[in-house]
């Protein structure tokens, strides 16, 4: 452990003092990159459910280096998980060269060989991406081409296998996509207020046959080896109005995700928005039916997804409103989100001297109205026209106002209904009320303070003997103070306390130092167990009790 700490100190010195020297030309090209290190020391704490960490110290680290020379670029990424932080899949354990690529980016043609990320439309049929905080990397290793034969038309083609921790998934992914920008393509639309983009894509995965037992005794599944998914999309704008629509359909794809059923998949995403100065409104509708699409049929978890199905509800940022986040239900969901923002004009009685921002948001998600007709080796279920069961609903209202040149305040109220089945847990609906007050005060040119107070009231209860083991349950209060000193130092203290069920007192202290593009942060305290969700994709975060170290730099 001493060796690791010594290495951390050395790395901090290196990144703080020497990294500016590294951004220099090499062979006429340009080298850029970044280094990130997250480390954790935690000890067992039965009151909050923190596990013992026999390794003493855990670490996720990575270094990206990109070389660019004209139209040519090449990059690599070294990653080390020794051992992975709490909550990350133990299969991440290891270190090595995780990514490498070479690319040519010409005016009309772009080619990439190696690891790459790609997205068709909104990702309903293809989106490979990485999120280091979720522990997800679905990069394709293979070839990617992008061709722009004329202005207004973009064609893409990809082929490869997906990253699976330190190896590759067995499935082969192939895809083509085309997009037309009519305003660039058609001369008579060049100056039109009507903006139209159309696109379509098709993705196929190939996987070898395997033996999967059907539910019918003495039978095995006759598996499709090639599974295809296609999508059409349109993006239409006129003045302040904008409509984005995408429909996707997937062929028979019996997999562990859907219980090995043969029902085709479907997804529809509609987003209508309007904006003008001081006002915006958006309405989003989504319906997903059996659209989980992975390159390996037997895989569950968050790795090896070919497509991406974003969450419809708003992703809240404050601690208590985001305590019960919504995770996309890839096997079936439908819902709506409405969002309205309005700025009350300044120098009015309601708006005050600087104006007042109002933000209203609401969403509702339900299951599909399904009737089960069979298990493995059948169509699985039929879908009726009903709304199904409630999965999630929320209504939030936020008011933000600048009181003076140095003080800004905001207040948020949230009502939320949460079905634990969203997290694959059993239980009754949770009804939550949350209130947040946030005050930012720029004390002087060098000093700034931020205060945050939150309250959460929930009818969920912590009762292990009755099988209710969720430590987020009950009623909570929280306070937070942040102090920024100049452009270098940052101090923060917070405490979350479950005052009803007594599931824990979670205090945290942290100090950060920033110099140039380098930031070092130390934290000490208790982390509440829960779910971390980004864009509807979630990772369970176990409780922890101890020290965290974070170091990031770029050059």
Partner 1 sequence: MKKTILLGFIGLFCFAACDKIEPDQYTVATSGGSGNGGRWSNGGTQCALVEKYTGPRCVNCPNADVTLDSLHVQYGEQLVVISINHPTGQGEPFPNQPDMRTEAGTAWDQYFGIGAIPAAYLNRNKAKQYSGSMDNLGSDIGALINQDPSIELTINADGDTATRQIDITVSYHIYDRLEGDITLTLALTEDSLSYRQLHPSRGIVNDYIHNHMLRDVITDTWGDDIPTDGVAGESKVKNFTYTVTNPDIKLQNCHVVGFISYKNDRSVLNCNQAPVVINQ
Residues that bind partner 1 (CB under 8 A): 155, 174, 176, 178, 202, 204, 206, 210-214, 216, 218-222, 224-228, 230, 251-252, 256-262, 298-301, 331, 367, 372, 376-380, 421, 424-426, 466-467, 469
Q: Containing H/E element for 400?
A: strand 390-402
Cα dihedral sign for 252, 171, 534, 434? Answer: positive
User: How many Å apart are CA 484 and CA 440, to the nearest integer?
Assistant: 11
User: How many Å apart are CA 52 and CA 47, to the nearest integer?
Assistant: 13
In angstroms, give the least distance from the CB of 39 to partner 1. Answer: 22
In angstroms, give the least distance from the CB of 466 to partner 1. Answer: 8
In angstroms, give the least distance from the CB of 215 to partner 1. Answer: 9
**How many CA within 13 A on the CB side of residue 395?**
2
Minimum CB distance to partner 1 smaller for 35 or for 221: 221
Minimum CB distance to partner 1 smaller for 330 or for 436: 330
User: How many Å apart are CA 271 and CA 197, to the nearest integer?
Assistant: 14
Minimum CB distance to partner 1 smaller for 114 or for 380: 380
Give the residue among 58, 56, 57, 76 at the shortest CA–CA distance from 66: 76
Minimum CB distance to partner 1 smaller for 177 or for 452: 177
In angstroms, give the least distance from the CB of 389 to partner 1. Answer: 8
Minimum CB distance to partner 1 smaller for 261 or for 480: 261
In angstroms, give the least distance from the CB of 300 to partner 1. Answer: 6
**How many CA within 13 A on the CB side of residue 103?**
23
Cβ–Cβ < 8 Å for 202, 303? no
Q: Coil, strand or helix: which one is 436?
A: strand
DSSP string, 42-75: E--BTTTTBPP-TTS-EEEEEEEEEEEETTEEEE
Minimum CB distance to partner 1 smaller for 192 or for 428: 428
Whether the ω angle into residue 430 lies within 30 degrees of 0, i.e. cis, is no
Taking CA atoms, 25 is separated from 15, 21, 28, 30, 66, in Å, by: 19, 11, 6, 5, 12
In angstroms, give the least distance from the CB of 345 to partner 1. Answer: 49
In angstroms, give the least distance from the CB of 257 to partner 1. Answer: 7
In angstroms, give the least distance from the CB of 547 to partner 1. Answer: 23
Q: Say which residue the tokens 């159309």 belong to.
A: 198
Minimum CB distance to partner 1 smaller for 294 or for 316: 294
Where are any strands of DSSP class E within 419-543? Answer: 430-441, 447-458, 476-485, 489-498, 505-515, 518-527, 530-534, 537-541
Minimum CB distance to partner 1 smaller for 23 or for 155: 155
Minimum CB distance to partner 1 smaller for 380 or for 393: 380
Question: What b-and-e string marks burial along 115-129, b requiring 16 or more CB atoms within 10 Å of the CB?
Answer: bbbbbbbbbbbbbbb
In angstroms, give the least distance from the CB of 91 to partner 1. Answer: 9
Phi, psi of 7 (to 5 degrees): -60, -35
Minimum CB distance to partner 1 smaller for 289 or for 438: 289
In angstroms, give the least distance from the CB of 372 to partner 1. Answer: 7
């Amino acid at each position: 452990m001493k060796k690791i700490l010594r290495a951390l100190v050395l790395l901090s010195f290196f990144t703080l003092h020497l990294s500016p020297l590294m951004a220099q030309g090499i062979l006429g090209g340009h080298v850029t990159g970044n280094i990130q290190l997250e480390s954790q020391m935690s000890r067992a704490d039965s009151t909050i459910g923190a596990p013992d960490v026999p390794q003493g110290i855990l670490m996720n680290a990575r270094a990206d280096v990109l070389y660019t020379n004209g139209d040519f670029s090449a990059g690599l990424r070294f990653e080390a998980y020794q051992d992975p932080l709490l909550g990350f899949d133990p299969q991440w354990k290891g270190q090595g060269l995780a990514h490498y690529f070479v690319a040519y980016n010409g005016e009309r043609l772009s080619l990439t060989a190696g690891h790459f990320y790609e997205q068709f439309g909104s990702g309903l049929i293809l989106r490979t991406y990485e999120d280091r905080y979720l522990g997800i990397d679905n990069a394709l290793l293979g070839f990617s081409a992008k061709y722009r034969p004329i202005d207004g038309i973009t064609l893409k083609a990809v082929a490869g296998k997906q990253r699976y921790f330190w190896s590759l998934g067995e499935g082969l992914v192939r895809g083509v996509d085309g997009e037309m920008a009519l305003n660039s393509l058609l001369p008579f639309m060049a100056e039109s207020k009507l903006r139209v983009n159309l696109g379509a894509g098709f993705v196929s995965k190939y996987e070898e046959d395997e033996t999967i037992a059907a539910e019918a005794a003495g039978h095995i599944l006759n598996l499709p080896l090639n599974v295809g998914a296609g999508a059409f999309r349109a993006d239409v704008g006129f003045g302040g109005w904008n409509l984005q629509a995408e429909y996707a359909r997937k062929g028979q794809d019996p997999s562990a995700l859907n219980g090995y059923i043969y029902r085709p998949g479907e997804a529809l995403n509609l987003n209508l928005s309007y904006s003008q100065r001081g006002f915006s409104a958006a309405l989003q509708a989504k319906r997903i039916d059996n659209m989980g699409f992975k390159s390996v049929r037997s895989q569950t978890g968050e790795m090896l997804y070919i497509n991406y199905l974003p969450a419809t509800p708003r992703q809240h940022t404050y601690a208590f409103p985001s305590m019960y986040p919504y995770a996309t239900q890839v096997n079936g969901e439908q819902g709506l989100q409405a969002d309205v923002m309005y700025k009350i004009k300044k120098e009015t009685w309601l708006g005050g001297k600087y104006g007042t921002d109002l933000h209203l948001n609401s969403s509702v998600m339900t299951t599909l109205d399904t009737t089960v007709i069979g298990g493995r080796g059948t169509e699985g279920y039929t879908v009726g026209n009903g709304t199904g069961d409630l999965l999630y609903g929320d209504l939030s209202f936020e008011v933000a106002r600048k009181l003076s040149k140095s003080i800004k305040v905001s207040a948020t109220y949230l009502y939320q209904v949460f079905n634990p089945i969203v997290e694959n847990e059993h239980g009754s609906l949770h009804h939550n009320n949350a209130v947040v007050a946030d005050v930012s005060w720029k004390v002087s040119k060098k000093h700034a303070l931020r205060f945050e107070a939150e309250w959460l009231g929930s009818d969920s209860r912590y009762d292990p003997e009755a099988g209710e083991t969720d430590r987020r349950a009950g009623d909570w209060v929280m306070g937070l103070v942040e102090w920024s000193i100049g452009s270098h130092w940052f101090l923060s203290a917070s405490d979350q306390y479950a005052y009803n069920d007594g599931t824990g007192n979670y205090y945290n202290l942290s100090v950060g130092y920033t110099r140039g593009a380098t930031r070092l942060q130390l934290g000490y305290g208790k982390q509440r167990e829960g779910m971390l969700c980004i864009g509807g994709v979630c990772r369970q975060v176990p409780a922890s009790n101890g020290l965290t170290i974070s170091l990031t730099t770029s050059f």
